[in-house]
């Protein structure tokens, strides 16, 4: 028996299905209209391997429902690392929705925890983001290394660190 999906993950799934099947964008249900906007990442896995992940650190839309819909569609069809999700793949996707807290600056890496906090690293115009509690990321140093690499920040460059927490919905 499968575990029921959380309503936020269900919304992401419906948005992906609607867009992949008919190229139409789902409208945010009324019950999400009053939810405050937040940064959101939507991650897709297929056979336990990443299939897409797109998100916003700070909200780009009017409410949480619309943020989830936009990022779900982007994760499915606009993640440049992958081909767009096909209709045949829809039943095989595992979808998670991460709702982010406001990022806060961190002066020292000792204040990080790779299981609890996601991170943002910045140097000039370069920025890298990594969500918390990811498979294969078992230390803060590894988390920082991956985020710096994503941003293109060299080992000799100074950078700022921000941390955030997420509520993960499946």
Q: Where are the domains of the chain?
A: 7-100, 104-165
Tokens in use for 34? 């009053």
State pLDDT tens for residues 20-61. Answer: 999 999 998 888 878 888 999 999 999 999 999 999 999 999
Q: Which class in CATH covers the domain with range 7-100?
A: alpha beta
- Confirm if 140 and 112 have CB atoms less than 8 A apart: yes
Is domain 104-165 annotated with CATH 3.20.20.140? Answer: no
Q: What is the pLDDT of residue 1?
A: 52
Share of the chain above pLDDT 70, in %: 99
Q: Which of 19-23, 34-38, 125-129, 163-167 has the lowest mean pLDDT?
A: 34-38
**Using CA atoms, how far apart are residues 107 and 28, in angstroms rounded to an integer?**
38
Q: Which of 114, 118, 116, 108 is nearest to 41 (CA)?
A: 118
Quick one: pLDDT at residue 2? 60
Asked if the domains 7-100 and 104-165 are classified in one and the same CATH topology, the answer is no
First to last CA, the chain: 15
pTM over 0.85: yes
- Give the dihedral sign, CA 137/98/82/122: negative
């Amino acid at each position: 028996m499968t575990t029921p999906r959380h309503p936020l993950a269900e919304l992401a799934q419906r948005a992906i299905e609607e867009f992949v099947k008919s190229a139409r964008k789902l409208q945010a249900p009324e019950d999400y209209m009053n939810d405050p906007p937040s940064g959101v990442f939507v991650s897709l896995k297929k056979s336990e391997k990443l299939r897409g992940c797109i998100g916003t650190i700070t909200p780009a839309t009017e409410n949480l429902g619309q943020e989830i819909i936009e990022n779900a569609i982007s994760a499915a069809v606009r993640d440049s690392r992958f081909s767009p999700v096909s209709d045949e793949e829809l039943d095989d996707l595992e979808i998670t929705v991460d709702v982010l807290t406001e990022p806060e600056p961190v002066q020292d890496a000792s204040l990080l925890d790779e299981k609890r906090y996601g991170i943002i690293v910045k140097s000039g115009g370069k920025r890298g983001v990594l969500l918390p509690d990811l498979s294969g990321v078992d230390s803060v140093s590894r988390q920082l290394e991956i985020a710096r690499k994503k941003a293109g920040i060299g080992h000799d460059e100074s950078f700022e660190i921000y941390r955030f927490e997420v509520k993960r919905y499946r």
